[in-house]
Amino acid sequence: MIMNKLVYRINILPLFAVLLFGACRQVNKKDHVDATLLRNVTLIDGNGKTPQEGVDILIQGDTIAAIGKGLDTTKTKAIDLTGKTIIPALICTHAHLGTLKGTRTTADNYTRENILRQLKRYQDYGVLHVQCMGTDRPLLFENQLYDSLRNGLLPGARMFSAGYGFNTPSTAPLSPNFWMDRLFRPVNIEAVRAEMDTLANLPTDIVKMWVDDFGGTAPKMAPEIYTAIIQEAHKSGKRVASHLYNQEDARNLVNAGLDIIAHSIRDQVIDDELVKLIKDKGVFYIPTLSLDEFAFVYAKQPEWINDPFFKAALEPGVLEMITSESYQRELRESPAYRRNKKGFEIALKNLKKLHDAGVIIAMGTDSGAFPIRAQGFSEHEELTLMVQAGLSPLQAITAATKNAAELLKIDRGYGTLIPGKVADLMVLGANPAENIKNTRKIEAVYKAGKLVSRGPF
C-alpha cells in the first residue's frame, strides 16, 4: 500500500506541475500579451453622449475590458493617445460588394478576391461591417465563404448579405454581364413563395426588394407582389428592406409591414402622418444621401476632387472618367439631372424631420453599386451630409454605429464602445464632434482588439 501511494505521488506531481504551469502561462498571456491600454484619449462611444475627455480604454483579447481615468498600466501594452479621439468603427447597412471593378459593375467581377479586396478597402476607411443589399451571387454561399466573412475570420470588414433581391419581371437590357441577373423577378404570388423558399435556406436575415419606376423609365413592382414578399419573408423569420423613392410607395410599404426603408423618400417633403407611422412601427430609415449627391455633383468638380482621402477610394480609371469634359457635359444635360438635384434637397429635409421625430436612422450609402459611389469615402461623406441635413456630428456618428448595429441585430457586441463590447474602433487625429470631417483623419483602425490599418494611405 505504501509503495502504491508513493508511486501515485511521484506520478501525479509532474502532471500537477504541468497543469499549474499551463494555467500560469494562460494568465500571463492575458496580462502581458493580449492587453492593450489606449491612454488619455477623448472617447465618443456611439451612444450620442458628450465625449469623455482623458480616459483610458483597456482592451483584453477582442473585448473592451474597462474604460476609466488613470487605469493601471502594468501588465499592458500602453499607448499614449493624448490629443486623439476614438470613435466606434463605422457600420454601413446599405452597400454592394464584389461587382464593381475599375469603371464597370459586372457579374464577372464577382469573385472571392474582389470581395476581399473591397472589404479591405472598407476596413482602411474604418468601416468594419458592410451589408450587401440583394446583389450577391451563389459563390458567396459556397465553401463557408459567407460564414467566414460574416464572423470576421478573413481580413477586412465583416460582410452581411441580403442574398438575392426581388425586382420586376421586365427590366433594363439583360446583357450577359448584367450584374443584377441573379435577382428574383416573380410574375405572381406563387412565384414569390417558391423563390422565398430558396432564400429561406440561406443564412441571411434581410430580404431586399426594389419598388420604384425610376422616374417613369421602368414598371413598378405591383402591390400584391411586394405584400407577398413581405408576408413570406416574415414567415421565414426574415425582415424586408425596400429600395424606394416616392412618399406614397413608402406609405403603402410601411402599411404592408416593411421593416427597413433603404433609401430616402425624395419626391416630396414627408407629411406628419407618415412620419408618425414610420416611428410607431419602428421602421429603420437608411438615407443614402451620398448616392443622391453623387448623382449630380460631378457635373462640376466638387471641392474634394483632389483630396487624397477621396482618391484613395477610387477604382482605376474613375477619376479620369468623372473629370472628363464629356462625362460632365452628359451629366449636366441628362434629363435626370434636375430631378436628382431636387431629390437630394428633399432627402436632406426628410432626414431632419424623421430624425427629430425619433425615427431610427441607420447609416448606409449604396457604395459599390456604381464606380462613382466610392467604397469607404462614401461612408464619411454620408456623415458629412447628415450633418448638412441638420443632425449634430454626434447624432450622425450614432446613426453610423449604434443604430446601424441595431439594424443588423449585432448590437449586443458592436456599435458602441463600452465594457463588454468588441473593440472595433478608429483612432482619429482630431475630434469629429467639433467638425464631422475629422472622421477622415484616421490614424488607426482596430478590429476585434487588433490594429488592422493605419488608414487608406
Positions touching Zn ion (CB under 5 A) are: 133, 366
**Nearest distance from residue 162's CB to Zn ion, in Å?**
9
DSSP assignment of 393-441: HHHHHHHHTHHHHHHTT-TTTSSS-STTSB--EEEESS-TTT-GGGGG-
107 and 137 in contact (C-beta within 8 Å)? yes
Q: CA 234, CA 248: separation in Å to the nearest integer? A: 22
Nearer to Zn ion, 381 or 424 (CB): 381
Distance (Å, rounded) from C-alpha 59 to C-alpha 63?
6
Q: Which three cell numbers stand for residue 7?
A: 508511486
- Nearest approach, Cβ of 100 to Zn ion (angstroms)? 12
Task: Please give the torsion angle defined by the CA atoms of residues 437, 443, 446 and 449, in that order, rounded to the nearest 10 degrees.
Answer: -130
Q: How far is the CB of 260 from Zn ion (least distance, A)?
A: 12
354: three-class secondary structure by DSSP: helix
Q: What is the DSSP letter of 361?
A: B
CB 254 to Zn ion: min, Å: 19
Nearer to Zn ion, 44 or 133 (CB): 133
- Residue ranges of alpha helices (H) inside 56-144 are 112-124
Q: How far apart are CA 418 and CA 187, in angstroms?
A: 48
State the Cα–Cα distance between residues 456 and 444, nearest whole angstrom.
10
Q: Smaller CB distance to Zn ion: residue 36 or 378?
A: 378
Query: Closest CB to Zn ion among 56 and 366?
Result: 366
Q: Measured from the CB of residue 263, what is the shortest distance to Zn ion in angstroms?
A: 8
**Minimum distance, C-beta of residue 283 to Zn ion, in the bound complex (Å):** 17
Please identify, using beta-carbon distances, which residue of 133 and 385 lies nearer to Zn ion: 133
Q: Which residues contact 31 (CB under 8 A, 6 or more apart)?
A: 75, 76
**β-bridge mates for residue 453, sequence order:** 445
DSSP at 140: G
Which residue, 360 or 369, has its beta carbon nearer to Zn ion? 369
Q: How far is the CB of 133 from Zn ion (least distance, A)?
A: 4
Q: What is the CA radius of gyration of the chain?
A: 25
**Judged by CB, which is closer to Zn ion: 133, or 258?**
133
Q: Which is nearer to Zn ion, 40 or 168 (CB)?
A: 168
Least separation in angstroms between CB 397 and Zn ion: 23
In this structure, what C-alpha cell is assigned to residue 406? 441595431
